Structure 1
Amino acid sequence: MKFTIAKADFIKVLQRIQGIVEKRNTMPILANVLLDASDGKITIMATDLEVFIKDSSPAKVTEESSVTVNARKLFEIVKELPGDIIDVASGKDDKVTLKAGKARFNVMGLPSKDFPVFPAIDETVMKELDAETFREMIDKTSFAVSTDETRYNINGFLLESGSGRVRMVATDGHRLALISREGISIDAGSKEGVLLPRKGVMEMKKVLDEKEGTFLLGITQKNAVIKRDNTIIITRLLEGEFPDYSRVIPKDNDKDAIAVRGDLLSSLKRVSLLSTDKIKGVKFNFSNSKLVLASSSPDIGEATEEVDVEYPYGELDIAFNARYFIDMLEALSDEKVRISLKDPLSPGVLRPVNGEDYTYIIMPMRL
């Protein structure tokens, strides 16, 4: 294998795959990136067996072949090579040589035949979607995804489509985030919804973050795939059943408090500084068109702050995890938010004042 490539192009495709490469030493080949030089381009592939990525970049190919080499080390070398052009070659011993200016690196590789096969793609299920819309749906729900690996069915996002609307839902059992968008749909086959793993979705989002425009999304029985320009990412779907989120959303929270989002966010950040590090609990006291936030830590002290709100009801004391509440407020961009409550032991609901497309549920705490 021999090819010449612009350093900037090589860095771009190698950087894109770094988050997918397997970091654990379970299978040495998974720490590698597959380099395939053919048809006037270099194609790269990486996987951890759950997420697969394929990308390509123009190159001057003088000898077609393929090889695998350590992805992290290759990326580090390419970034530090001098000049703007890099010559890459490999021989029968799978050793990869990189030359630029007066620098030369020889890096041991592994045979490309040992690299996992990239899954086949069914182009017929691909649908064109707006990148900004899908990116927004991820941003407004990703903070609620569970990181508890024993609860695999909530280690990702539920994606549903029907009646010209797409919903994305995430929960960790303490909070739930839901966003829906009208006028778009996906083809999930016979399934009402699919479970997308967090890692795969966040890697997809990196590609969507690069520019505005559209991309292709497809769902099969086992995988979800996105395609944008030369980049293809495939992620295995999670197995299991997502909780019935419709049962979690309170229907009878009849006490609404309306607050300026930025003011509440700033106050909550300040007051939470003196909450205990482990549980981050903050008391919310609603009464007479005001909200008093309070926190305390036995070893440090206490803090209170008053926030103006619209609240024409009797006094209500409730406590929430400040970090969870802050996450919800930061995910929104609306000027005002509506906090719907029932009593100190029932979940709170947070929505924008002007819209029902976002719904956030947060469980109360006992303090």
Structure 2
Amino acid sequence: MKFNIGKPEFIKVLQRIQGIVEKRNTMPILANVLMESSNGRLNIMATDLEVFIKDSSPADVSEDGSVTVNARKLFEIVKELPSDKVDVSTSKEDRVTVKAGKARFSIMGLPSKDFPVFPAIDDSRLEPVDSDNLKEMIDKTSFAVSTDETRYNINGFLLEKEETKIRMVATDGHRLAFIEKQDLKSAVQKEGVLLPRKGVMEMRKLLDEKEGEFLLGVTEKSAVMKKDATVISVRLLEGEFPDYKKVIPKDNDKMAVAEKAVLLASLKRVSILSSDKIKGVKFSFLKSRLVLSSSSPDIGDAIEELDLDYSEEDIEIAFNARYFIDMLEALDEEKVRINLKDPLSPGILRPEGSDDYTYIIMPMRL
């Protein structure tokens, strides 16, 4: 294998795959990137066996070939090269030589034949998707995904179709976020699929690229996103997502409306003196005002009052401040609607004037 490629183009394709390169040494080759040069292009691929990413860039190819080499080391080398042009070649022993200017690096590689095969993609199953809508759905639910690896069925997102709507749901058992969109075209199955967090967040990175058409498709075993030469294939999670509809309270009739920015800033201040372990803050809903308070026996206490549109009976309830802040930071709207029932029941948060986005948060005992 022998090719010459522009440094910016090389960096771009190598950076694309850094997020999924396997850090653990269960299979050494998963720490590598597969490089193939042919027909005037450099094709690369990386995987952790759950997420597969491939990309391509024009290159001056003088000798076809393929090899795998440590993805992180290669990326670090290319970033620091002194020239805008990079020469890459391989030896029979799968040693990769990288040259630019007066710099030369030689890296041990592994045979390309041992690298996992990229899953077959059926382009007929891919449909155009509104990138802004999908990006919003991910941003407003990703913080609620569980990081507890023993609960694998909630280590990702539920994506389902209901009539003309597409819905994305995430939960960690303490909170739940779901959002639905009317006009998001996608080949999503009606009964829903479970998408792993890591794969979805790689798709989210791709969605930041403005130009080009985004295609999305879901099969029985995987979800695929494609944009130009970039393809991301994500293996679906197995298991059954909790019946989230059962945990959405039906009779939270005490409604308050707050200025999002004011509530967010106040909550951040008061939570500074909450317990580091549980981050609990007490919410006292009174006529036309909300009192936030926190205390930690070894540190001190804090209290702050803010205006609130509320005319129901007084209610005092405690929430995890971090969970509350996460939702407020995801909101684009200026006001947030809070629906409560009693101190022991979950609270419902929604942007004022819309029911497309719902956030459920469990109360705490302080």
TM tier, shorter chain? over 0.9
1:363 and 2:340 correspond: no
**Structure 1 residues 76 and 26: CA distance shift in structure 2, 3 A:** same
Aligned residue identity for 1:321: N
CA distance in 1, matches of 2:290, 2:180: 30
Q: Identity rate of aligned residues, in percent?
A: 72
Aligned residue identity for 1:67: V
CA distance in 1, matches of 2:57, 2:212: 20
Shift of 1:184: 2.3
**Contact 2:280 2:364 survives alignment (8 Å):** yes
Find the counterpart in structure 2 of residue 337 from structure 1.
Answer: 336
**Contact 2:295 2:302 survives alignment (8 Å):** yes
1:22 and 2:22 correspond: yes
Structure 2 stretches lacking a partner, 5+ long: none
Find the counterpart in structure 2 of residue 314 from structure 1.
Answer: 313
Aligned residue identity for 1:335: E
Give the 3-state SS of the residue equivalent to 1:36 in structure 2. strand
CA distance in 2, matches of 1:212, 1:246: 37
CA distance in 1, matches of 2:101, 2:313: 76
Shift of 1:3: 0.3
Shift of 1:148: 0.2
Written as runs of structure 1 = structure 2, the 5 A alignment for 1:1-367 is 1-189=1-189, 192-211=191-210, 214-367=213-366
CA distance in 1, matches of 2:136, 2:241: 21
Give the 3-state SS of the residue equivalent to 1:337 in structure 2. strand
**Contact 2:213 2:228 survives alignment (8 Å):** no
Give the 3-state SS of the residue equivalent to 1:310 in structure 2. coil
Structure 1 stretches lacking a partner, 5+ long: none
Give the 3-state SS of the residue equivalent to 2:220 in structure 1. coil
Q: CA RMSD in A?
A: 0.9
CA distance in 2, matches of 1:340, 1:234: 39
**Contact 2:4 2:86 survives alignment (8 Å):** yes
CA distance in 1, matches of 2:7, 2:161: 42
Shift of 1:134: 0.5
Q: TM-score, normalised by structure 2?
A: 0.99
**Contact 2:128 2:185 survives alignment (8 Å):** no
More displaced stretch, 205-214 vs 241-250 = 205-214
Give the 3-state SS of the residue equivalent to 1:22 in structure 2. coil
Shift of 1:185: 3.4
Shift of 1:162: 2.8
**Structure 1 residues 201 and 85: CA distance shift in structure 2, 3 A:** same
Aligned residue identity for 1:170: A
**Contact 1:132 1:212 survives alignment (8 Å):** no
Give the 3-state SS of the residue equivalent to 2:176 in structure 1. strand
**Contact 2:285 2:291 survives alignment (8 Å):** yes
CA distance in 2, matches of 1:339, 1:55: 45
More displaced stretch, 160-169 vs 265-274 = 160-169
Shift of 1:288: 1.1
**Contact 2:133 2:184 survives alignment (8 Å):** no
CA distance in 1, matches of 2:254, 2:39: 65
User: CA offsets, 1:110-164, max 9 Å, x none?
Assistant: 0000000010001111110011110110000000000000000000000011312
Aligned residues: 366
Shift of 1:212: 5.1
Q: TM-score, normalised by structure 1?
A: 0.98
**Contact 2:2 2:89 survives alignment (8 Å):** yes
Give the 3-state SS of the residue equivalent to 1:329 in structure 2. helix
Aligned residue identity for 2:204: K
Aligned residue identity for 2:298: D
**Contact 2:159 2:188 survives alignment (8 Å):** no
